[in-house]
Amino acid sequence: IQWGLLYIIDVGLVMGLVPATDIWGSLVDLMRMYFAVVFAAIIVRNWVDDIVHIAEPTTGTTFAILEASLLAVYVWLGVPLSPHKTLSFSPIFPFCGYIWNLQTKYVYLKPSKRKKYLDALTEALTGTVSISQEDMEKIGGFLSHLCYLVPRGKSYMVEIYRFQGSMSPFKPKTEHHPPDRCISELRWWLDILRQEGDIGRFLIGYLPTADVTIISDACPRGVGILVGKKWDYLPCIPGWDATSDDNIDRAEAIGVLLALILLFGIYGTSLDGHVIKALCDNKSVVGGWAKGRNRNAAVNLIIREIDQLLCIHGCRLSLKYVKSEENEADPVSRGDFGDIENRSDRLDLDGNALVWPESLKTCVDFISRTPA
């Protein structure tokens, strides 16, 4: 309860009821509001009962003074702190199962958490794979947690979530055999946990935005792409849409990937470390990229290819939706090419020693590159 700058907090149920997570969340929200008033220079963040205070001493204060003041407030509020988890101010600290280094701007998975995750996945994938709903919920939870450190891992969660969602919560102990695609994703994560070195990433803030926008479009006959004034067209292979996953969404996703390949083919490494602006008129592809995954297996494979290409160049992709009637690549995909002199030859297999992903070879024709 707040009255002006006065607060009344009921601490009688702090972590006292297992289902009462909302009560704890409300308490922490009140605490953060209080700290914002009393300690304007301190940023407070929490994950359930894991709380971190980020501060930089101002003139006349020290970390020791801030720490003593914070602890005094917790005592006054009557909120108990875990003695073995309460640490002094430091540029390197644990939070949310990660170790954060503010000096190097690097965050990585705690070794104890890594061992716990590795042991759980190894046990689940040993012998004839059979996993209970209870165990799958835990696995899905910690792999989702890992996606913050391994962003490209989001596209390796689709089948895991699908399998997890198919299991009945009313039979938590009953074991089920995961589909092959789910097992494949679990093994990918197992390889990540087994790799040498930390599982972490640098916290990169601002990146300059490239002054060129890539635009793509697809229709059943072909894929058209624009990179600045340059354009290219690749016809779809007859029968490319034979399966349920091979719909127009897949062709649209391939258009984005091809536009990126053409972009780096034209500009080389000069755009490394930039934000790449892209336009696409397919909401499924745009939304899937925003989430890092797509329920359509074929589109999801393309998202992985895009992720890999961006990692090579240290770039980010800002993919936005554009209406079909405003999509400048729409005429190209339908065979209305315009100035033939502006056609790029960077996607020509005969003239370039490029290795194309297998996910593309069954959809578009890289050899003829002529209208279907």
Q: Return the pLDDT at 349.
A: 47
> Could you say which residues of the chain have pLDDT below 70?
1-3, 7-25, 59, 242, 244-245, 346-359, 361, 366-372
- Residue 61's pLDDT is 79
pLDDT at 369: 57
Name the token pair of 81: 């702190």
Is the sign of the CA dihedral 355, 357, 362, 363 positive or negative? Answer: negative
Neighbours of 190 (CB within 10 A): 15
Phi, psi of 313 (to 5 degrees): -100, 0
Determine contact, residues 262/226, Cβ cutoff 8 Å.
Answer: no
Alpha-carbon distance 249 to 332, whole Å?
17
Could you say which DSSP state residue 236 is in?
B
How far apart are alpha carbons 325 and 331 in whole angstroms?
10
CA distance 341 to 219: 23
pLDDT of residue 294: 94
Question: Edge-to-edge strands of the sheet including 316-321?
Answer: 230-235, 222-227, 209-219, 275-280, 316-321
Q: How far apart are CA 284 and CA 84, in angstroms?
A: 47
